[in-house]
Amino acid sequence: MSGSPVAAAGDDRLAGWETVVGLEVHCELATATKLFCGCPNRFGAAPNTQVCPVCLGLPGSLPVLNRRAVELAVRVGRALHCTIRPSTFHRKNYFYPDMPKDFQISQYDEPIDVDGYLELPSGRRIGIERAHIEEDTGKTAHLGGGGRIHGADRSLVDYNRAGVPLVEIVSRPDMRGADEARAYVAELRAILVASGVSDGRMEEGSLRVDANVSVRPIGAERFGTRCEVKNLNSLRSLGRAVEHEAARQVALIETGERVVQQTRHWDEVEGRTSAMRSKEEANDYRYFPEPDLVPLAPDEAFVEAAAAGLPLMPADRRARLAALVPHEADGLLPASTADQVATTVDLGLDDLVVAAMACGADARLALARTANEAAQTPEAARRLDPQAFARLVELEASGSLSATQAKAVLAELLAGGGEPEEIARRLGYEALGSGALVDALDAVVAAHPAEWARYLAGEDKVAQLLTGQVMKATKGRANGKAVAAALAARRG
Amino acid sequence: MAVELTVAEVRHVARLARLELSAEESVHVAGQLSAILDHVEAVRALDLEGIPATSHPLELVNVLRADEVRPCLTREEVLGGAPAVEDGRFAVPRILGETP
């Protein structure tokens, strides 16, 4: 949860209510060129330098579909377990300066990908209704008149983005609350990046999210009236906007008013949503088939070639890692271990853990050191030699290094590589011979007779103090477990 | 069965298409559009069971181009026909309801 006041207040305001969320995610495809012309698909170029007669909609120009964009849409479909089907293109008509043609070419009633799902780290499956291909719009910047010399209010339009290929991925209303909505987008982003479909940069608009939010009393079956919230440019915005919008709807219903279905704009600074003037009266886009484009009917060979080389998806990687670590008696993974698995996969460190296990490292310990320590510097961790990491884990598992020592050695490994045994020696972590431990224990017992007497009398908590003294005497080189065992043995 | 398009419906469609119609034109067009819809109704009345829908008059599918960059227009060419230009962009009247 974010620490914002909105999030904190959200829990109270939503008591007794369930928030239902469905998401529409627009994903820019990582092609070299636009969807229907050869203009570069590149972020950040000078305004109106990546346009041609086709994306400007000049008379006589004709769109031709980009093969790579279709291949990437097929990869999206495969990665989201969709059925990939024949599809057609429509014109979505509206008058707004972000499209010079006054229409956007999109897939309407026959999208390329339908009926899939995405599995969250929690194990919950979120249905994917469809994913369709469409072209992006231009960018408009709205200028105010006040204070500027050339006075009048106006908008400035850059068409570099007009015609950039997108897939719009539409989920079913399967998410319950802001946290799950954020988890869905994070997972979807990871899938799209892994598939080579998108760079996943939300801050550059590569992924843009609209949220359909409604509320219903807990236990109710019927969905409430939904509102669509736009302008969600980060996971944080998404979470805050969903919480705020749900609270707004609950407040309406609890005061006897009703929710009106509408499109609302999220204001990140104000932390609230407000009704938007729609682009077109009653969203009547007068769709009709695009006469300049023929149907798309990818055959099996096309689909298989496009989907070739898709890597394991995050959910599969979590399953692979989870299968390698010990489960509880009920067959489930402890929650903390599941979190470690999710973190490890999220940071792309699962290959390290799997490889270390293949070298004989203890599974649970390898996972813990990866998710808790190595994860702090994920880039260095991805360069870690799995064999060296495996030996470090074994040094700790066998008791040759204490947990604290193992973490210090790991930090060195991450910082500069090397051999764990050598680093341990350099740090003075050579395990004490049992003789040296006995000597140290003798000295501590002699120096603390009162405490020793209490320990002998059965006061177990004194063991901590005595162990600490031994550690101090050996400058931390003794192994905590070994000291505890030696103390217990001496008491008899 | 005859389709009777109302003048109000004609006005709605005209507004969506940004067409300005006089009262007489609206009545006139309502009659013409109703005749077109009558024809659609006539087709709909046929038994089309088993006949696949026509998505496009051409019997072509999968017309695709390679993902290769081609030259763009120069910015001078792009903006040359624009009524107003500012900062290398098209300047258009501000849309009502949009915030700066």
Which of the listed CATH numbers 3.30.410, 1.10.10, 2.40.50, 1.10.357 matches domain A434-491? Answer: 1.10.10
Residue A154 sits at φ, ψ, to 5 deg, of -160, 165
**CB pairs A-B closer than 8 Å:** 148
Residue A195 reports pLDDT greater than 60: yes
Residue A386 reports pLDDT greater than 90: yes
CB contact under 8 A, B72 and A296: no
Identity of the residue in A143, A284, A291 whose CB atom sits nearest the CB atom of B16:
A284
What is the model's pLDDT at position A26? 97
Name the percent of chain A lying above pLDDT 90: 70
Instruction: Tokens for A487, please give them.
Output: 């103390």
A149 pLDDT band, cuts 50/70/90, is very low
Residue B97 reports pLDDT greater than 80: no
CB contact under 8 A, B90 and A156: yes
B1 pLDDT band, cuts 50/70/90, is low
Residue A196 reports pLDDT greater than 90: yes
The residue in chain B having the minimum alpha-carbon distance to the alpha carbon of residue A139 is: B89
Packing angle between helix A480-491 and helix A462-473, nearest 10 degrees? 120
CB contact under 8 A, B94 and A159: no
Residue A236 reports pLDDT greater than 90: yes
CB contact under 8 A, A48 and B67: no
Provide, as residue numbers in chain A, all residues whose Cβ is less than 8 Å from the Cβ of B9.
Answer: none
A364 pLDDT band, cuts 50/70/90, is very high
Residue A2 reports pLDDT greater than 50: no
CB contact under 8 A, A296 and B61: yes
The residue in chain B having the minimum alpha-carbon distance to the alpha carbon of residue A48 is: B75
| CA A368 to mean position of chain CA atoms | 20
Name the percent of chain B lying above pLDDT 90: 68
Name the percent of chain A lying above pLDDT 70: 93
CB contact under 8 A, A66 and B55: no
Q: What is the dihedral of CA A149, A150, A152, A158, to 10 degrees?
A: -120
Provide, as residue numbers in chain B, all residues whose Cβ is less than 8 Å from the Cβ of A276.
Answer: 97
Q: How many CB atoms lie within 10 A of CB A270?
A: 9
Identity of the residue in A143, A157, A296 whose CB atom sits nearest the CB atom of B62:
A296
Residues 50-69 of B with CB under 8 A from A: 55-56, 58, 60-69
Identity of the residue in A53, A96, A294 whose CB atom sits nearest the CB atom of B56:
A294
What is the model's pLDDT at position A212? 98
Smallest Cα distance from A141 to chain B, Å: 7
Residue from A465, A416, A467 nearest A441 by CA: A467
pLDDT in tens, A285-331: 889 999 999 999 999 999 999 999 999 999 999 999 999 988 887 87
Of residues A9 and A81, more confidence is placed in A81
pLDDT in tens, A73-115: 999 999 999 999 999 999 999 888 999 999 999 999 999 999 9
Helix (H) or strand (E) holding A392: helix A386-397
Least confident of A272-281, A436-445, B54-63: A272-281
Mean pLDDT of A355-378: 94
Strand partners, A26: A168, A208
Provide, as residue numbers in chain A, all residues whose Cβ is less than 8 Å from the Cβ of B99.
Answer: 142
The residue in chain A having the minimum alpha-carbon distance to the alpha carbon of residue B96 is: A277
Residue A387 reports pLDDT greater than 80: yes
Strand partners, A134: A106, A166
Residue A132 sits at φ, ψ, to 5 deg, of -125, 160
Least confident of A52-56, A245-249, A462-466: A462-466
The residue in chain B having the minimum alpha-carbon distance to the alpha carbon of residue A110 is: B55
Most B CBs within 10 Å: which of A48, A133, A296, as the mutation test of the B interface?
A48
Provide, as residue numbers in chain B, all residues whose Cβ is less than 8 Å from the Cβ of A69.
Answer: 67
**How is A61-130 classified by DSSP, letter by letter?**
----EEHHHHHHHHHHHHHTTPEE--B--EEEE---TT-TTSEEEE--SS-SEEEEEEE-TTS-EEEEEE
Q: β-pairing, A65-66 with B64-65?
A: parallel
CB contact under 8 A, B95 and A97: yes
What is the model's pLDDT at position B45? 92
**How is B16-83 classified by DSSP, letter by letter?**
HTT----HHHHHHHHHHHHHHHHHHHHHHTS--TTPPP-S-SS-----EE---------HHHHHTT-S
Could you list the beta-strand ranges (E) of A272-387: 272-275, 288-289
Rounded Cα–Cα distance for residues B67 and B57 (Å): 26
Residue A405 reports pLDDT greater than 90: no
Give me the residue spans of the domains in chain A.
Answer: 12-307, 314-426, 434-491
CB contact under 8 A, A70 and B64: yes
Helices (H), A417-448: 420-426, 434-447
What is the model's pLDDT at position A5? 38
Global confidence as pTM: 0.82
Least confident of A76-90, A116-130, A264-278, A335-349: A264-278
Of residues A424 and A433, more confidence is placed in A424
| CATH number listed for the domain at residues B7-44 | 1.10.20.60
pLDDT in tens, B48-82: 999 888 888 888 999 999 999 999 999 999 999 89
Rounded Cα–Cα distance for residues A492 and A478 (Å): 21
What is the model's pLDDT at position A329? 79
Rounded Cα–Cα distance for residues A139 and A119 (Å): 33
When the pLDDT of each residue in chain A is averaged and rounded to a whole number, the result is 90
